Amino acid sequence: MPDTAANSTSDVRGAALDHLWMHNKSWAATAETGGPALMSSGSGIRVTDAEGREWIDVNGGYMCVNIGYGRRELAEAMREQMSKLVYFPQGATTQPLVELAEKLAEIAPGNLERSWPVTGGSEANETAIKIARAYHKRRGESGRYKIISRRESYHGALGATMWLGGSGGREDYEPAFPGMVYAPQPDAYNSGLDESDSEAAVRAAQAVEDLIKFHGASSVAAVIAEPVSSSAGAAVPGDEYWPMLRQICDRYGVILIADEVITGFGRTGKMFAMEHWNVTPDILTMAKGITSAYVPMANAIVTSEVADVFAGADNIFRQALTFGGHPVTAAVALKNIEIMETEGMADNSRDVGAHLLENLKDLAEEHPIIGNVRGIGLLIGMEIVADRDSRTRFPQDARMGERLNEAFEAEGLILQSRGDRVTIGPPLCITHAEADELASKLDRAFGSVGRALAT
């Protein structure tokens, strides 16, 4: 194998085009730009590429580098644990993992207390679905297998999770996973109705109950939803939504799963977004921010009521994942959470997020293609429209996604849009000054796109 470390940037890019299968990218299209961007270092909200150009990583990877780039404390936590023990024998556990499970039980909402550690958000949600179905089976209700999720949501890319959310792009993987049922988002702006956020919340929650009734409660295992959906444009549901959903699930004996893979660990201004509505789900999934993506880790945590159904010597939840509960990732997660708490990053997300949201609302007044700005903490969505009054989107031949992405790149922003919306979720360490800088760069980017459209 060639020593790519000693090769030029162009050689490494060439090797990437020949051998690397990147996320959601065509190597043919990437080749037209000379190969993928190569990043070499990072600090805070910024990364530097192999040519020495500095960029703002507007979404901190996949909204996962919560404490920011370049925190050596996490590297030290990793090194220290690896110098002691790098794995665990079968049937044993390690102190870092036990301490992490205890810490998660302490900071999670309500009586969420028992953790099943995995390595990524897709695995956490897949595990949650399996737990929900096994829970009903243990209680003698083996007919409960259907899962209700919301259209436009994203919950993962594995066997069952890939079919949650009801979005397109899965034709290669048909037939669909059985038992998938889809409900609407609590999103007044995109509902096509003249309604308030509260009315949209009530309507969307009632739709879940209607689906349970239609399919029969004896066939429904769980409802899964993000507290605030990033993939659906960061529409914050009206305050009625989550309490109603909790009541509906209780009424029909359905497990409520909160997917906090993105919203967890300070993203919305609280450690977990469900705290905004004082609602405890039966299962809560987490990933990304649990280690700020410094190492792969995720987790599904369940209430004592759910866990107790699996008590007993012959009542095992049968699943084993080689890297689930790895002691090194657990040590990193503990240090990451310590930094978040010590430095008040959830509070910073709340305060700087509110400041950035107001800045972006001001931008919307200046740029007619921004139809709506909404969000909570450092999870903000901007709707891109051809006409504000009708909320009509741009046609495909307008190339809005390409136009926006080129404008963002010109401003040194790592930010991608499909052309119908822009979602923003920077590292939680962002300062007020950096938020102002980001808003200024977005202002110039939207301005250049607007001028090009006008001509």
Which tens digit of pLDDT belongs to each residue from 357-392? 999 999 999 999 999 999 999 999 999 999 999 999
Select the more confidently predicted residue: 315 or 106.
106
pLDDT at 28: 77
At 241-252, the pLDDT tens digits run 999 999 999 999
Mean pLDDT of 182-187: 97
User: What percent of the chain lies above the pLDDT cut of 70?
Assistant: 98
Q: What is the mean pLDDT of residues 278-290?
A: 98
Mean predicted confidence (pLDDT) in 216-236: 97
For residues 428 and 306, membership in a common domain is answered with: no
Establish if 104 belongs to a structural domain: yes
What is the per-residue burial (b if ≥16 Cβ within 10 Å, else e) of 310-345? eeeeeeeeeeeeebbbbbbbbbbbbbbbebbeeeeb
Query: What's the whole-number mean pLDDT along residues 115-121?
Result: 98
Which of 342, 375, 401 terminates a domain? The answer is 342
Q: How far apart are CA 326 and CA 324, in angstroms?
A: 6
Say if residue 332 is in the same domain as residue 440.
no
Report the CATH number that the domain containing residue 140 is assigned in CATH: 3.40.640.10
- Report the C-alpha dihedral over residues 46, 49, 53, 56, rounded to 10 degrees: -20
Q: Mean pLDDT, to the nearest integer, of 300-327?
A: 93
93 pLDDT higher than 90? yes
- The answer to whether residue 373 is domain-embedded is yes
Residue that terminates a domain, selected from 342, 365, 396: 342
Q: Are residues 250 and 112 in the same domain?
A: yes
- At 316-342, the pLDDT tens digits run 898 999 999 999 999 999 999 999 999
Task: Work out whether strand 283-286 and strand 298-303 pair parallel, antiparallel, or are unpaired.
Answer: antiparallel
Answer with the residue of higher pLDDT: 13 or 121: 121
Query: Which carries the bigger pLDDT value, residue 126 or residue 168?
Result: 126
**441 confidence band (pLDDT: 50, 70, 90):** very high
116-143 mean pLDDT: 97
Does 360 share its domain with 318? no
Does the structure show a pLDDT above 60 at 5?
no
Per-residue model confidence (pLDDT) at position 24: 78
Query: What's the confidence (pLDDT) of residue 277?
Result: 98
Report yes or no on 86 lying in a domain. Answer: yes
Residue 1: the pLDDT is 44
pLDDT (0 to 100) of residue 36 = 87
Find the largest Cα–Cα distance for the chain. Answer: 72
Sign of the CA dihedral 173, 178, 183, 185?
A: negative
Q: Are 291 and 332 in contact (CB under 8 A)?
A: yes
Average pLDDT score, the chain = 95
User: Does the pLDDT of residue 302 top 80, yes or no?
Assistant: yes
Number of domains in the chain: 2
Q: Is residue 6 pLDDT above 80, yes or no?
A: no
Q: What pLDDT shows up at residue 234? A: 97
Task: Examine residue 148 and state whether it is found in any structural domain, yes or no.
Answer: yes
Domain of 194, in residue numbers: 73-342
User: Is 7 within the bounds of a domain?
Assistant: no
Among 299, 321, 342, which residue terminates a domain? 342
